[in-house]
A and B are shown apart, each in its own frame.
Chain A
Amino acid sequence: MIVSFTVNGEERIANVSGPESLLTVLREELGLPGSKNACEQGECGSCAVVLDGAVVTSCLVMAADCEGSEVTTVEGIGSDRELHAVQQALLDHGAVQCGFCTPGFVVTAAHLFEENPHPSSDEIKEALSGNICRCTGYGAIARALEELAEGTA
């Protein structure tokens, strides 16, 4: 079936044959491999996208159910010329190790800062509690985002 939806502000059409996930369609049909495929059960957050205003794990979204939806992936955050403040903060703090989890952290944190420009340390940790970093690099990520929240990044 044909599914039409908006991805990063552009109207996109995907040919969906079965119950495959939005993550699969983003990566394999739409040429958007920024969202990462790891656990396939919503536990790791590396596939996080914004779907109709909420951050969700795209591995648990059925692509066929995305007709008419609005999706923002990590490719839609910042630009080649200007990074999003969250991306810049992570860069400044060396808060990236292997980088596999980074897209999920960027999507989740960027959405947090849009909703709440000055989140507390607890709010940052809560918002990111569904994103797992297999390098255990949480300290630098938290520091980067805490400084961004305080406006000192």
Chain B
Amino acid sequence: MEITRPTSLSEALDARAQDPGADLLAGGTDLMVEVNFGLAKPEHVIALRRIDEIGEVEDRRIGAGVTWARLEESDHRALAQLSRTVGSPQIRAAGTIGGNIGTASPAGDGLPWLAAVDAEIEVASQARGTRRLRWDEFFTGVKRNALEPDEVIVAAVLPERVPSNQHFAKIGQRSAMVISTVSAVVVRDDDGSVRVALGSVAPTPIRALAAEQLINENPQPTDEVLAEFARTVSAEVTPITDHRSTESYRRHAAGVLARRLLERCLAS
């Protein structure tokens, strides 16, 4: 196996250009599980953790190399909340948001938040420079994304306004060190409009647009509207049955979680 350890983004892009498809290694918390279980046999690894320029949080940019441990301190409440639920402290010290984006697991803890705030994913290549994709352009399927073989994920870029009223929750089989059965983020803007994003209930993170519409038309929802909101979320998700849960439970839990988070937003 060959390893390249770039200390700048341009060196990393160089390496990717010379060997498109070389495996990118960030915190290692996904790739090394596959290595340990014999599911991945990388021939050329480009290790990204020495690249300072992708390891910073600036105003509207979260560098791909920023760890969950740092995001636990984020000013964005739901991002901080979800970061505290990623794996364990040891995992959070290593794992990065860029790795989460690159792995593109349906259960990726950070992804519903990116969907809820309408983040863009910034990627770069030596040949074509930088481009930004909306989150729903970037995530294309189960562990699939729109990253080209010569590109590197640089940052998540947030819109100019991110409402501060936002909540995250996830359900799993225990309360720590768990891959989510269902996760959800609800963001409520000052005008009462909401955005509702869910994870682990579709091949990619999704937004529950019909449920959002219902609340946007009823910004002070009654109990009846809240019940309808939960039913709408449950109807919008497309979960599967697997070793972690069933389709029907996930559908039910998605509605319950989204309603609970919306009520927290309304009470904030």
Contact with A62, one of B28, B89, B90 (Cβ below 8 angstroms): B28
- Is A65 an interface residue, CB under 8 A from the partner? yes
For the complex, give the distance between the alpha carbons of A130 and B89 in Å: 6
B36 close to A129 (CB less than 8 A): no
Chain A interface residue count, CB cutoff 8 Å, equals 31
- A61 with B94, Cβ < 8 A, contacts A19-B40, A40-B33 known: yes
Q: Interface stretch among B41-49, B205-213, B219-227? A: B41-49
For the complex, give the distance between the alpha carbons of A41 and B1 in Å: 21
Q: Which residue of B lies closest to A69 (CB)?
A: B49
- Is A13 an interface residue, CB under 8 A from the partner? no
For the complex, give the distance between the alpha carbons of A48 and B25 in Å: 20
For the complex, give the distance between the alpha carbons of A7 and B36 in Å: 22
- A62 with B36, Cβ < 8 A, contacts A19-B1, A45-B88 known: no
- Is A110 an interface residue, CB under 8 A from the partner? no
Contact with B90, one of A17, A20, A57, A67 (Cβ below 8 angstroms): A57
A64 close to B49 (CB less than 8 A): no
A40 to chain B, nearest CB (A): 4
For the complex, give the distance between the alpha carbons of A19 and B3 in Å: 9
Contact with B93, one of A21, A54, A65 (Cβ below 8 angstroms): A54
Contacts of B32 in A (CB 8 A): 19, 21, 42, 59-62
B88 close to A41 (CB less than 8 A): no
Instruction: Name the residue among B2, B41, B91 with the largest chain A CB count within 10 angstroms.
Output: B91
Contacts of B35 in A (CB 8 A): 19-21, 62
A60 close to B29 (CB less than 8 A): yes
- A62 with B93, Cβ < 8 A, contacts A17-B1, A21-B32, A40-B36 known: no
Contacts of B42 in A (CB 8 A): 19
Contacts of A149 in B (CB 8 A): none
For the complex, give the distance between the alpha carbons of A21 and B41 in Å: 13
A60 close to B5 (CB less than 8 A): no
Interface footprint category on B: 20 to 34
Give how many A-B residue pairs fall within 8 Å (CB-CB): 100
Contacts of A126 in B (CB 8 A): 89
For the complex, give the distance between the alpha carbons of A26 and B170 in Å: 36
A107 to chain B, nearest CB (A): 10
B28 close to A61 (CB less than 8 A): yes
A88 to chain B, nearest CB (A): 23
Contacts of A145 in B (CB 8 A): none
- A62 with B25, Cβ < 8 A, contacts A19-B41, A130-B89 known: yes
For the complex, give the distance between the alpha carbons of A67 and B50 in Å: 11
17 sampled A-B residue pairs with Cβ under 8 A? A19-B41, A21-B32, A21-B36, A42-B32, A42-B88, A45-B88, A54-B69, A54-B94, A55-B89, A55-B93, A56-B93, A56-B94, A62-B35, A62-B45, A129-B176, A129-B177, A130-B87
* Chain B positions near chain A (C-beta within 8 angstroms): 1-3, 5, 25, 27-29, 31-33, 35-37, 40-42, 45, 47, 49, 69, 87-91, 93-94, 176-177
The 8 closest A-B pairs by CB, nearest first: A130-B88, A54-B93, A40-B36, A60-B32, A65-B47, A64-B3, A130-B90, A41-B33
Instruction: Known pairs A45-B88, A65-B28, A108-B90; list 15 more (Cβ under 8 Å).
Output: A17-B1, A18-B1, A18-B41, A19-B32, A19-B45, A41-B33, A42-B87, A43-B177, A59-B36, A61-B32, A62-B32, A64-B1, A64-B45, A108-B89, A126-B89
